[in-house]
Structure 1
């Protein structure tokens, strides 16, 4: 189709105030974007130069501004269209690409069938979305940016699920920080440093507090009901937070506080928020829910109780009162302590899903924020969900069984233990015998790869001995070239792995920690190179296997912002048992319970935690009976399977007893409620100050691998986040048992497997 003849446009000088009403209607009313004064100046200059005097009468400016807003959203820009910082380069790229597609003041849509890649208004590669953006721009090629009408071609290259897997290390991902004034997240663009200014240490806890505080205010339990509402809506109690500085002069009143648990210099337990600090009296306190979570110094908690002001000693001053910003005089008599309720991932990112009647079920959130560096939910989510459906969710049930959808996770892979070689050989042999369309997508091997920190042993071999252990791993992997050709191997280090163990001597190292150096992993990389060189796949779009030595923690992005898997290696359960606060058991006498309920109502104040808990609290009588029946049925099935097939390699699913299930739920709830991987003081678990945002769990990931060698294996779902612990590869005291986790990315569920080798 021939292009229309271009007409000359006489540029005009368009003042920004004249364009402001039209820009407000297009950007704010239609696309929910905000424009700054500098960006309005750039838009006015662009419209005046390319649309001329017909910008208003012929409606040229409205069409151009609409295309600019669509391109901005499609490219992953923020809510604010700004002409400074990173937004300047993005806006300049959009205007430059749009100007090349204009004729006579109008945007000309090219023939995308002939020139789909080169004539796109703006490609994701131009805005720096990395490999994911490059892959997306090659298949995008459409001028229509309406996300509800995406058309994705049935290309064979898009069907490879491994193409959409991206491993993001802790030192590579974005560093979002919540801005209290803008009520949005800012991506820190200042290069991080290992030696930041001392003020950055205080910012770690301030950022954690602000993140949880805004999350708490978005909870329905903290919404203040409007006047004139019906009695049904006002029947539910709303909760109000009080800052510590506002306790002054309000002795004898009950309040709900949010703050950081810490130990004061005098050895007393205190609560701190940005306005001040107050000493806590937990003599009569109890946890809510009862024995449902850990509470230790370094955590941000909700505290309900009564403030008791100290008596006047001299004049009108309070004894020990430091005023606003310091330690408040008096004590806070705590009645109950609970964690801040968690928020589902859909509510945080604003991931809009259509229900059966076609209505949007979830709206709002921070959909334009690129938390991980793989694209925001609003810009990449709709398209990536279509690709996910094309790759994983086939039309027929029999086709879904032949889809590569598994992630294999093994933890505490101690290469210095002789039995580890036999365990790895057994697991790899089982998966290598599967057909090509059933091979696992990813193998995640988590340290400690060295059981003891030999790097700090001086004369025990040091780096030479560590190199030999990883050479053993290379020889084991070389025996299974099919896995090296068709799967991605991700290696996450532990505290005893080099180089961190050279100075930690096996103690807790700083977080995050970098991957294992190339000095020790050269032969493993060579094994992958040799396997891929010998393999000549028939599919030209085949993605070769690779070995990625990532950091701890690390994150796996599958289909951009749609699926996020966090991998973290830490013995966090043992640290919680050492540092947690022990509350007195509740009284069982009816009189004491009645007296306590008359003075305080901790159950009501902290009931919101249970309401937002996706996993129910410890099972009651009926639930325990159902669990016992399920366990008996599973045990009978296992016994029958063992009688029929006495083969020692039979896979036996692990059934959790009520004690193990309760302990796993308690651990998962503690970590996810804190939205942080290491909610401890710097003296207990040091964190690199500039890289602290990499430890945040906001928004919640779709899945999390919490590799804790001190806890039993489990797989628990809480608030839509599936948390798994593979435990040790070889359980303590066993001779021929091997355990690992197999995670299904289609069902977003994982299970613990156990076999004999």
Structure 2
């Protein structure tokens, strides 16, 4: 038997490992107890490299500083009620966050265990709460801080490894879990005054040079550094960003948390049928929560008491709030009056019905009138408000449609609607919970509620970078004097449908570009951007029919456009050209044949637009400051898409669709409603606001009359005086913005990709909407603070040699302009 003896460990080696052991509850040994002149066996076995030159037999070991040991902290049991005032001051007052009871319990347990008895006197708890709130906003956790969320547990776990002696370690070790080197950390010093200030929980001025924590939330997505407000930044086009529909963040409204959550799953163009239901549920929940925020649907205990005490008075009747009844709750309530919120649908039998998340019921609108009268369209696929009476048919119970009565099915009987209306729109400032968003107030402040911390576009949230971006905008675009002529740099030129297969379209384009082209390349004299929309062909390309020449002629059309653009090098080097496709453009029109294509749709392929890109590259090759990235560019975007200028300060939606004609074809005929006459061209009216008069409203159109108010009956005499073009524009704008959705139709009428419905939402309301509709008259309308512009077609119908476009001054209003060529 062979006995293998294990090598004997050197006692010197054991002694060397002793001081390296870490015990959290045991302080490190005193210096004079540390062993002296320790060296390992490996070091002792190394022979001298050159004995003849007096090289030491044993090389000198480099000095290694001992690892910092954690100071001992005696844990305490900290009640959540004791920590509540400090947590409220840090999370709610300073960071506009709401703590739940579970989150307060988690924070109290964490602070009591890691800060000990010095959590109040030394200000340790304040630093921990500040760091937790900052990391919570960096993770986009939402307004409500929940103790059961994995984000809070992950933050506390990372913070636990970076604490020593109740303080947050500023560098070295495991500091990688924290994103800032000087975040909320006061280093110990020998200065008596500084130590006294630290014990009192005060922060010495000048030690921590950082802005409010709100300014750091959402900044990473924009790439904004501290040098953004330097005087060297003079080009506003640097802050212009085109957001494609397929790149826009996707959000879904969580009813339980009453907050928007980002969808992290990978989208698909061919998802399961379950995603269609999710798309409808999300759209319904967004409108429902928006409706409950309206004052007409909010109940008050004081108002209810007054109404109960004086039910016969007329004043109490006007103060009653509306209440939405789920369709499933109509069962057994025959003859009762209710208000329903649901989507207009068509049943397999051909009957019109209304459906919500609980069920469906047949709808009878033979006696219904619109509120306000003839102010909006109503088509299947829209989510509307219907006020009426439920009528239960006893003889039909168990037969036909009522056989599937119950939650989730079609309820027996019918709902007799007397009034129908659109869900009222909500202003952008109310949605984001921030005032002063329209340029009237320099100091933006919170007015309560809202979704200001949500980064809907991926460019930074409103409350995080909104005020800073507006200061930058006022320095780069806004003139110091109100009487000074505005610069061309703050304008966006919007061109309507450009049919390249019509030779006169290129002549009109050349004339319009010549009005804005200048001899030199000064950025102050050229517009910020040009928006050119399709259809770039009158017929669906690549279908070999209806005059279509296929892909070869389609490529030649864009080559002719490149030749026209090359004649204006000053615009190609200083402006951004954005091209939005239509339904007849490639490649999607190859299988649609000119019919409605699914939205959103991808841009025109680069195969056809390569000549235009080379034209921009040739024009920008000679500029001196090309390395700074200030040259012009051509961007081929999706339909719809968004323009973001100065982050969330300006959101401009670009959408190309003949939605007016589709509304006329699919609308529901109501009682006393006359058929709409054919669309007429608008000649004289250029700027229309939502008011009783043509010139109502202020410069921003913000104070225009709210036409969706059902409390004031419409005046027939005033509607007869309003031109049809103006009335049609108001009707179209109100319908689209009240729905908060760019395609409020059935899937068979206007299909939408189920996983890409987020780019179709108009919530929060954008600052401007470019709706290119050739079946509607050209207009510029402001409704609820959103400026809607329709340039129509670049060629004016009925006028020979006339071109039309819209000149939009960012943050203000647009004007419909015409010229001859």
- TM (norm. structure 1) is 0.81
- Give the structure 2 partner of residue 602 of structure 1: none
- Give the structure 2 partner of residue 388 of structure 1: 473
SS of equivalent residue, structure 1 residue 166? strand
User: Which stretch has the larger CA shift, 491-500 or 97-106?
Assistant: 97-106
**For the structure 1 residues 109 and 298, does the alpha-carbon distance in structure 2 shift closer, same or farther, using more than 3 Å as the test?**
same
- Alignment partner of 1:481 out of 564, 569, 594: 569
The answer to whether the 8 Å contact 1:68/1:95 transfers is: no
Q: Distance in 1 between matches of 2:338 and 2:725?
A: 35
User: Which stretch has the larger CA shift, 418-427 or 220-229?
Assistant: 220-229
Is structure 2 residue 659 aligned with structure 1 residue 584? no
**For the structure 1 residues 401 and 495, does the alpha-carbon distance in structure 2 shift closer, same or farther, using more than 3 Å as the test?**
same
| Equivalence map 1:502-581=2 (5 Å) | 502-537=590-625, 543-581=630-668
Is structure 2 residue 71 aligned with structure 1 residue 10? yes
Is structure 2 residue 219 aligned with structure 1 residue 155? no
Unaligned runs of 5+ residues in structure 2 are: 1-67, 159-174, 189-197, 308-314, 675-704
Q: Distance in 2 between matches of 1:288 and 1:264?
A: 25
* Aligned-residue CA RMSD (Å): 3.8
Distance apart, 1:394 and its partner CA = 3.0
**For the structure 1 residues 15 and 42, does the alpha-carbon distance in structure 2 shift closer, same or farther, using more than 3 Å as the test?**
farther
The answer to whether the 8 Å contact 1:167/1:556 transfers is: yes
| Equivalence map 1:708-747=2 (5 Å) | 708-747=773-812
**For the structure 1 residues 112 and 710, does the alpha-carbon distance in structure 2 shift closer, same or farther, using more than 3 Å as the test?**
farther
Distance apart, 1:97 and its partner CA = 2.8
Is structure 2 residue 375 aligned with structure 1 residue 287? no
Distance apart, 1:360 and its partner CA = 5.6
User: Which stretch has the larger CA shift, 286-295 or 460-469?
Assistant: 460-469
- Give the structure 2 partner of residue 363 of structure 1: 448
| Equivalence map 1:184-199=2 (5 Å) | 184-199=259-274
Distance apart, 1:698 and its partner CA = 0.5
The answer to whether the 8 Å contact 2:372/2:714 transfers is: no
Distance apart, 1:276 and its partner CA = 0.7
SS of equivalent residue, structure 1 residue 365? coil
Cα deviation digits, residues 698-718 of structure 1 (max 9, x gap): 011111011001111011111
- Give the structure 1 partner of residue 296 of structure 2: 221
Cα deviation digits, residues 687-740 of structure 1 (max 9, x gap): 111001110110111110110011110111111111110000012343311100
> Comparing both chains, which one has the higher relative contact order based on Cα–Cα distances under 8 Å and sequence gaps of 6 or more?
1
- Alignment partner of 2:535 out of 443, 448, 453: 448
Distance apart, 1:227 and its partner CA = 3.5
Q: Distance in 2 between matches of 1:371 and 1:174?
A: 6
**For the structure 1 residues 9 and 100, does the alpha-carbon distance in structure 2 shift closer, same or farther, using more than 3 Å as the test?**
farther
- Alignment partner of 2:412 out of 329, 337, 345: 329
Q: Distance in 1 between matches of 2:467 and 2:397?
A: 66
Distance apart, 1:315 and its partner CA = 9.8
**For the structure 1 residues 460 and 745, does the alpha-carbon distance in structure 2 shift closer, same or farther, using more than 3 Å as the test?**
closer
Q: Distance in 2 between matches of 1:393 and 1:207?
A: 39
SS of equivalent residue, structure 1 residue 265? coil
Is structure 2 residue 581 aligned with structure 1 residue 493? yes
**For the structure 1 residues 21 and 575, does the alpha-carbon distance in structure 2 shift closer, same or farther, using more than 3 Å as the test?**
farther
SS of equivalent residue, structure 1 residue 754? strand
The answer to whether the 8 Å contact 2:573/2:631 transfers is: yes
Distance apart, 1:474 and its partner CA = 1.1
Distance apart, 1:365 and its partner CA = 1.0
SS of equivalent residue, structure 1 residue 584? coil
Q: Distance in 2 between matches of 1:318 and 1:518?
A: 52
- Give the structure 2 partner of residue 750 of structure 1: 814
- Give the structure 1 partner of residue 57 of structure 2: none
- Give the structure 2 partner of residue 164 of structure 1: 239
Distance apart, 1:385 and its partner CA = 1.9
Is structure 2 residue 258 aligned with structure 1 residue 183? yes
The answer to whether the 8 Å contact 2:569/2:619 transfers is: yes
- TM (norm. structure 2) is 0.75
- Give the structure 1 partner of residue 759 of structure 2: 694
Cα deviation digits, residues 397-435 of structure 1 (max 9, x gap): 465633621000011111111111111111111100386
SS of equivalent residue, structure 2 residue 335? coil
- Alignment partner of 1:268 out of 325, 331, 351: 351
Q: Distance in 1 between matches of 2:505 and 2:72?
A: 74
| Equivalence map 1:14-163=2 (5 Å) | 22=83, 24-30=87-93, 31-34=95-98, 54-70=118-134, 72-73=136-137, 77-81=141-145, 96-98=178-180, 101=183, 102-104=185-187, 129-130=220-221, 132=222, 134=223, 136-139=224-227, 153-157=229-233, 159-163=234-238
Is structure 2 residue 465 aligned with structure 1 residue 401? no
Q: Distance in 2 between matches of 1:230 and 1:357?
A: 40
Q: Distance in 1 between matches of 2:412 and 2:436?
A: 50
| Equivalence map 1:237-252=2 (5 Å) | 237-252=320-335
SS of equivalent residue, structure 2 residue 572? helix
Cα deviation digits, residues 450-492 of structure 1 (max 9, x gap): 1211211179542221111111111111111110111111110
- Give the structure 2 partner of residue 429 of structure 1: 514
**For the structure 1 residues 122 and 62, does the alpha-carbon distance in structure 2 shift closer, same or farther, using more than 3 Å as the test?**
closer
**For the structure 1 residues 360 and 718, does the alpha-carbon distance in structure 2 shift closer, same or farther, using more than 3 Å as the test?**
same
Q: Distance in 2 between matches of 1:621 and 1:21?
A: 66
- Alignment partner of 1:659 out of 720, 724, 727: 724
The answer to whether the 8 Å contact 2:99/2:144 transfers is: yes
| Equivalence map 1:276-355=2 (5 Å) | 276-312=359-395, 320=403, 322-353=405-436
**For the structure 1 residues 98 and 313, does the alpha-carbon distance in structure 2 shift closer, same or farther, using more than 3 Å as the test?**
closer
Cα deviation digits, residues 259-283 of structure 1 (max 9, x gap): 1100011110000011111101122
The answer to whether the 8 Å contact 2:372/2:707 transfers is: no
**For the structure 1 residues 48 and 250, does the alpha-carbon distance in structure 2 shift closer, same or farther, using more than 3 Å as the test?**
closer
Q: Distance in 2 between matches of 1:356 and 1:425?
A: 40
**For the structure 1 residues 265 and 402, does the alpha-carbon distance in structure 2 shift closer, same or farther, using more than 3 Å as the test?**
closer
- Give the structure 2 partner of residue 206 of structure 1: 281
Q: Distance in 2 between matches of 1:390 and 1:484?
A: 25
SS of equivalent residue, structure 1 residue 416? coil
Distance apart, 1:197 and its partner CA = 1.6
Q: Distance in 1 between matches of 2:599 and 2:400?
A: 44
- Give the structure 2 partner of residue 468 of structure 1: 556
The answer to whether the 8 Å contact 1:714/1:724 transfers is: yes
Q: Distance in 2 between matches of 1:86 and 1:166?
A: 30
The answer to whether the 8 Å contact 1:612/1:719 transfers is: no
The answer to whether the 8 Å contact 1:446/1:569 transfers is: yes
Distance apart, 1:322 and its partner CA = 1.4
Distance apart, 1:129 and its partner CA = 3.6
Q: Distance in 1 between matches of 2:573 and 2:653?
A: 24
Q: Distance in 1 between matches of 2:248 and 2:155?
A: 20
Distance apart, 1:64 and its partner CA = 3.7
- Give the structure 2 partner of residue 418 of structure 1: 503
Distance apart, 1:750 and its partner CA = 0.5
Q: Distance in 1 between matches of 2:492 and 2:790?
A: 13
The answer to whether the 8 Å contact 2:132/2:155 transfers is: no
Q: Distance in 2 between matches of 1:684 and 1:428?
A: 37
Q: Which of the pair has more CA radius of gyration?
A: 2
Is structure 2 residue 337 aligned with structure 1 residue 254? yes
The answer to whether the 8 Å contact 2:343/2:355 transfers is: yes
SS of equivalent residue, structure 1 residue 456? coil
